[in-house]
Amino acid sequence: MIKKNQNLILLLLIGSLFISCAEKAGEPVTASEFLLGTTCVITLSDWEKDADPDSLLNEAFHKIAEMEQQLSVNIETSDIARINAGGDEGFAAGPMALDVLKQAIEIAELSEGRFDPSIGGLVALWGIGTENAGIPGEDEISTALSGINYKEITIEDSGLVILENPNAALDLGGIAKGYAADLVREFLTSRGVRRGIINLGGNVLVLGRKENREPWRIGIQDPREPRGEYLGIVEVDEKAIVTSGVYERFFMEDGVRYHHILDTRTGYPVRNGVISTTVIHDRSVIADGLSTSLFAMGIEKGMELANSLEDTNVIMIDEDNRVYITDNLTGSFQLNASSGYTLAGNQN
């Protein structure tokens, strides 16, 4: 599926996370590895006295690496690659691949197919973010589109996954990082980690609250400015924050920007006036899938769906610099007055 930008969210450690946490658990420990096609960074700030933070970090990255081996479409021995190769004969996938695929199908149903795990052929065709990026031919796009239909994915009770359409190909990149973040959180909290940050290439998940019990203040990247410039701040705790945007993973041809968020109806990059969508949710895998879904649905339908969902906070930005937020974010989101953006409607 569509991969999220690696640096769409800037974590503003307002309140000096590193200093305040040092009083109880010693200096915070941070490590990074290149996994899932991006730089993954994990910071532990408060843990059980007898725990070894370095060992915890190593184990956490090992879990991500194991997951990648099972879910990456680019690894021939992965379950997803084998499902694609198996086609209508099927492949008996393992529990993890089945779990992620089922969640992807649920999001596809929720978004009426604007997010679709069978988009793999179209993603590979455009190759955006690779050296082979380019505009495909109309016939190629038509063939790839004919294979996109999550309803033609069959999952049998035995775990056998069958792609009924010969042109179908799975790609779970659109929720894989979110799933990985949830997996790491579950592991770390089971080992007594009380506070920290999981940042998988821009898919951010915060553990616990700040030392003073106040929520984290997270800066949302300004889509029109260099990295590090934020348009607003949202207060969260124990949440995942995931953004999809058009402004970093793209290529230019004849003065036209072709970004990485592909429309499952037209076969081309989505063009509906949206330039950025941020989703805040308890589960990173849901935030990951919804950020793409809502972006593709557009402002009106996207915000309508977002406001209908429980425990889901959303920030959408259009090309006219208008910022739309869900009703439940009022009071928790502060727009940077000097950013040049305005809150849409009657929002405060």
pLDDT digits (tens, 9 = 90+) for 277-320: 999 999 999 999 999 999 999 999 999 999 999 999 999 999 99
* Lowest mean per-residue pLDDT among 110-119, 212-221, 235-244: 212-221
305: closest CA among 114, 115, 110, 117?
Answer: 110
Q: What is the pLDDT of residues 220-238, one digit of tens each?
A: 989 988 777 889 999 999 9
Q: Output the pLDDT for position 225.
A: 84
pLDDT at 213 > cutoff 50:
yes
Q: How far apart are CA 329 and CA 308, in angstroms?
A: 13
For residue 347, name the pLDDT band (cuts at 50, 70, 90).
low
Over range 153-158, report the average pLDDT.
Answer: 97
Residue 71's pLDDT band, with cuts at 50, 70 and 90, is very high
Question: Residue 216 — very low, low, confident or very high, per pLDDT cuts 50/70/90?
Answer: confident
**Residue 13 predicted with pLDDT over 70:** no
Task: List pLDDT tens digits, range 51-67.
Answer: 999 999 999 999 999 99
Q: Return the pLDDT at 312.
A: 95
Instruction: Give the pLDDT band of residue 342 (cuts 50, 70, 90).
Output: very high
Question: Percent of the chain at pLDDT above 90?
Answer: 76
More confident residue, 17 or 244: 244
pLDDT band at 27 (very low <50, low <70, confident <90, very high): confident
Distance CA(226)–CA(238), nearest Å, equals 28
Q: Is the dihedral of CA 259, 264, 268, 271 positive or negative?
A: negative
Residue 339: predicted pLDDT: 85
Share of the chain above pLDDT 70, in %: 91
Cα dihedral value 296, 298, 302, 304, nearest 10: -150
pTM to 2 decimals?
Answer: 0.90
Give the pLDDT score at 215.
87
Question: Using 50, 70 and 90 to split pLDDT, how confident is the model at 81?
Answer: very high
Task: Inform me whether the pLDDT recorded for 268 exceeds 80.
Answer: yes
